[in-house]
Homo-oligomer: A and B are copies of this chain.
Amino acid sequence: MSDKTKELNSSIKLVNNRLHFTGSAGSNDPVSIDYTAPLGDDLGYTSLELLLLSLSSCLGSAMLTFIRRMNRTITEFEITAKGVRKTEHPTGFASIHLEISLTSPDAIPEEVQNVIDLAEEKYCPVRSMIKGSTNVETSFKINNVR
């Protein structure tokens, strides 16, 4: 197995005579990937939905790591992502909005904002890869359950 801190691998394979793929990496359960009708059949994630999951989880992982290092407790954590596509080819995202929701007895808004800024600037690799092309906005709410 390769060292994932240095190199990552994946593969996709077409599984019908349209645009339905299964994708995989390592021993993970395969992911069903498809394109929307009429070109595809909506049988799986679109490429751009996978990009949203990639970005959300990258930011989420960096945030959780930093918040926990501050000895704050996070009991629930969710990110919903909305990507608005460009109207002309290439129809990537013009903007992405990430709505972060966390439940914590002791998280402090200023600290959470600092952690988001730090992740966006330096510790979220996926964010860095799309920085030149895509405007990413974030908002967050803390459910302060004691």
The chain A residues found within 8 Å of chain B, CB to CB, are 4-14, 19, 21, 23, 25-26, 28-29, 31-33, 35-36, 39-40, 44-58, 60-61, 64-65, 74, 76-87, 89-93, 122-134
Contact = CB atoms under 8 A, between A and B. Distances in A.
Nearest to A48: B8
Contact of A49 (B5, B10, B51, B90): B10
A60 B25 contact: no
A77 B47 contact: no
Contact of A14 (B35, B74, B83, B91): B74
Contacts of A13: 76-78
Contact of A76 (B14, B29, B45, B123): B14
A90 B131 CA distance: 11
B90 A123 contact: yes
